[in-house]
Amino acid sequence: MVLTLFASLLVGVLGIFLFVLLRFKNHLQGSSLDKLASYSPKSGNTQSENLNQFKSSFGELCKRQPANATYEESAATLSNMVKSSNFLNVEDLIRTNATKLFWVHRECASLTEGGLGIRITVQYNLFGGTVANLGSQQQRDWLKQILERGELGCFLLTESGAGVLSGLVVETTATWNGKGFTIQSPNPVSSSRKCWISQGLMAKWGALIARLIINGEDKGPHAFIIDMQSPGILREDMARKTDFNTLDNAYVSFDNVEIPRENILSGISFVDENGKYQLVDPSQGFSFVTVAQRLLSGRICIAGASLNILEQVLHEVERYGFDRAIKTGRDTTCSLSNMPFMKSTLERIRGVSKVFECFIANLEKEYMSVRVIDDRLVDRIACAKIEAIRFAINSLHEIKETVGSLSLFDHGPFGSKNDLLYVFRFAEGDSNILQQKMVRDALKKIASPVRLAGEGFNILGAIFKNKGNTGFSRSSLSLQLVQLALRMRVPKSQMIPVWLESHAIIKSVAHKKALLTIYDTVYPAMAGTRELELFRQYMIQ
């Protein structure tokens, strides 16, 4: 009790001191943008010589989807794309060889209608990627055959009782029955049924995530191949959406659905003929990250796609602005794009985008190269997903406010088509949940009194160290972390209510931590550049 009171008093005093310092921070730090060079990335990890040809081919395939297509017509469009020999193949879906998968999302997202774009991600990253990375060689050969036939798949993870706001919570069971597995949605089915299953009505196949039960023992979530036309599977169309109704979203429930033993994805673990659970490599267990790895690659994909959508809007607004003459005097005009308020807005947004692009490129390389995906990489991927999409959404809103009447026209780059960014926000793990996990993990690191005291000393220490010229932001982060840690020192029965009431400080801590993580990662490559200084001034400060 005395320690808590003392710590609270110390935090209060340090908070006042920090507030006074923050009043003068703009006089103490900062660089002149005019004196900084622009960032010039080295040749990227994409096959740049084929970029224009591939993008052109991809765009033509996407255009084959009729205007105002039904979801059946959209599914047929994707089926034809899947059959195309010059599109993604099974080898492109393997984690260590995912350059082309990332590249398609990062460079081509703006070329496709939103519903079709989601289909592509589901088909290749979620369904195909799950089979390719968790399956055996025989199962990968099977995947190659169904892609050649243009057959569609879906990814069955999210359930109604958990939803996108609750993380990996799975009630669906796959129980060993002596020959294979019985798939069941436990009662109440309204809670355990799969929901928001994109391509769920049109898919022939599914990559199902269900809890593996053997002789009453719960082995946790595992992945299975399932024929979506099997007896006992009920597929129901969800309510009509405000947009992207070219995509079918389904409720899917299971009532004693029988699947063969061979349908468990067996690249890492399997069940033998005697019902014994086996690991292919005893040193590599089947963990949460193993099941969720396609969510991780998906987060990288949609973070890159969000920047591609933003870049397309920037390009169209700039083009419009150069043709839009604004009178600046009786006999003088200036193009809208060269008006100082517009020019500085677009330059700032594009500059900050370069920082995000550098960070995402770094993640792509690391994701493909590491032997084991560790907690640090999972955390950094979450930072990209949360903040790149948030930045894209906020930037589009700012551009709309600045550009004028173009934001109202149907032929302009705005409108509901950009609502795909909100789909990205809660896809592959809702951003709010990722933020909460990020902060919970940070609190665990300072759970002991010694580490909590160390974080308290960092409130001042960060200012004097001033790492990367971001000392005040790091100090503010430490202050809020200590405040939250002290707030959470309550009886166990009160922890959840206090945590829920602390939503504002949790969001603030996660935001600051993510931005500083991004900054520190790109600093070696971008230090001294105009783009990184823009990021520091407008995102971190």
| pLDDT for the residue numbered 163 | 54
At 50, the pLDDT band (50, 70, 90 cuts) reads low
Q: Are 208 and 226 in contact (CB under 8 A)?
A: yes
At 2, the pLDDT band (50, 70, 90 cuts) reads very low
- Domains defined along the chain, listed by start: 2-35+355-540 (no CATH), 158-287 (2.40.110.10)
Give 124's contacts (C-beta < 8 A, 6+ positions apart): 88, 92, 93, 101, 104
Look up tokens 């005291």; give the residue. Answer: 453
Interstrand relation of 277-279 and 233-237 (parallel, antiparallel or unpaired): unpaired
- Does a cis peptide bond (omega within 30 degrees of 0) precede residue 340? no
Mean model confidence pLDDT for the chain: 88
| pLDDT for the residue numbered 60 | 84
| pLDDT tops 70 at residue 40 | no
Dihedral Cα 462, 464, 468, 469, nearest 10 deg? 110
Whole-angstrom CA distances from 261 to 174, 227, 252, 476 are: 11, 13, 22, 54
DSSP, residue by residue, 35-84: GSBPP-PPS-SS-GGGHHHHHHHHHHHHHTSPTT--HHHHHHHHHHHHH-
Nearest-angstrom CA–CA distance, 73 and 77:
6
| pLDDT for the residue numbered 45 | 47
- The single-letter DSSP state of residue 145 is H
The tens digit of pLDDT for each residue in 241-300 reads 888 999 999 999 999 999 999 999 999 999 999 999 999 988 877 777 777 788 899 999
| pLDDT tops 70 at residue 38 | no
Residue 390: how many CA atoms within 13 Å on its side-chain side?
16
Nearest-angstrom CA–CA distance, 411 and 390:
25
Q: Are 320 and 407 in contact (CB under 8 A)?
A: no
Residue 402, token pair as written in the block: 């600045």
At 39, the pLDDT band (50, 70, 90 cuts) reads low
Nearest-angstrom CA–CA distance, 258 and 236:
20
Compute the C-alpha angle 257/279/285, nearest 5°.
100
* Phi-psi category of residue 256: left, alpha or beta, with phi > 0 → left and psi -120 to 50 → alpha: left
| pLDDT tops 50 at residue 182 | yes
DSSP β-bridge partners for residue 153: 205
| pLDDT for the residue numbered 469 | 92
Q: Are 200 and 250 in contact (CB under 8 A)?
A: yes
The tens digit of pLDDT for each residue in 70-108 reads 999 999 999 999 987 667 899 999 999 999 899 988 888
The tens digit of pLDDT for each residue in 393-427 reads 999 999 999 998 899 998 889 988 899 999 999 88
For 4, other C-beta atoms within 10 Å of its C-beta total 10
| pLDDT tops 50 at residue 27 | no
Nearest-angstrom CA–CA distance, 355 and 519:
8
Q: Are 134 and 268 in contact (CB under 8 A)?
A: yes
| pLDDT tops 80 at residue 16 | no
Q: Comparing 28 with 453, which gets the higher pLDDT?
A: 453
Gyration radius of the chain over CA positions: 25
Give 361's contacts (C-beta < 8 A, 6+ positions apart): 41, 44, 45
| pLDDT tops 60 at residue 140 | yes
End-to-end CA distance of the chain: 35
Nearest-angstrom CA–CA distance, 104 and 219:
35
Give 292's contacts (C-beta < 8 A, 6+ positions apart): 168
| pLDDT tops 60 at residue 62 | yes
**Would the pTM count as exceeding 0.85?**
yes
Using DSSP, state whether 310 is helix, strand or coil. helix
Whole-angstrom CA distances from 436 to 149, 295, 421, 500 are: 42, 17, 20, 10
Whole-angstrom CA distances from 41 to 18, 229, 325, 469 are: 37, 49, 34, 22
Total residues found in the chain within this entry: 541
- The single-letter DSSP state of residue 34 is G
